[in-house]
Amino acid sequence: MDGWALFLSSLGPLALAGATASIPLAIVSFALGLLIAVGIALLRISQNGVLSGIARGYISVIRGTPLLVQLFVIFYGLPSIGLLVDPWPSAIIAFSLNVGGYAAEIVRAAILSVPRGQWEAAYTVGMGNARTLRRIILPQAARVSVPPLSNTFISLVKDTSLASLILVTELFRVGEQIAAATQRFMLVYLAAALVYWLFCLVLSGLQNIVEKRLDRYVAR
């Protein structure tokens, strides 16, 4: 098979692996990571010094250690203490914790960017803290946080390639298999890079749509 034919024939399997493995892995991990991030962000802005300290410590550990190390600790390290975790759950846990650490500061900054008057206005109509946060503050904070969170998600889609190192069959691992079978590493990896790039272009377009829909929540 000549180079051009191999390049084109690799795109289908790579795109399929991306759509059925890499993207779902990124979506699930990001959703769980975002829940973690919101919780950590709320602890971070808490007046309770202990809770705030726990949040700071979590963020520091996640940001101060490589994602690959976190992935290996969960998949290869936990079995040494009797906790065996399969490849897919290991990847989801590692990616979710990593997203939680990075996105927490994004969420915190977004919450703090909402004018204090929004809280005060909600209190005057009888809303409590929880309801104010849910109905008033978080929708506005969401609009502010969309661009950086979208960038985090796009980075996560690319980072899913690391899951191939713990035997998760996703886009990059399929590329490795094709490259090993054909011994045409440059062409196959270029095809993989193209597929990742196209996925990121689509995600960037979706980001713009989400930003426009959230515009209505911004206080003018």
CA 135 to chain centre: 24
With contact defined as beta carbons under 8 Å apart, do 43 and 54 qualify? yes
116 by Cβ neighbours in 10 Å (0-12 / 13-18 / 19+) ranks as exposed
Number of domains in the chain: 1
One-letter identity of residue 10: S
pTM: 0.89
Phi/psi for 183 (5° steps) reads 60, 25
pLDDT tens-place values along the chain, 220 residues long = 677 888 889 999 999 999 999 999 999 999 999 999 999 999 998 888 899 999 999 999 999 999 999 999 999 999 999 899 999 999 999 999 999 999 999 999 988 888 777 766 777 776 777 777 777 777 778 778 888 999 999 999 999 999 999 989 899 999 999 999 988 999 999 999 999 999 999 999 988 887 777 666 555 5
Q: Which long-range contacts (CB under 8 A, 24 or more apart) does 61-64 make?
A: 61/101, 62/97, 62/98, 62/100, 62/101, 62/102, 63/101, 63/102
User: Residue 53: which CATH number?
Assistant: 1.10.3720.10
Range of the domain at 150: 3-217
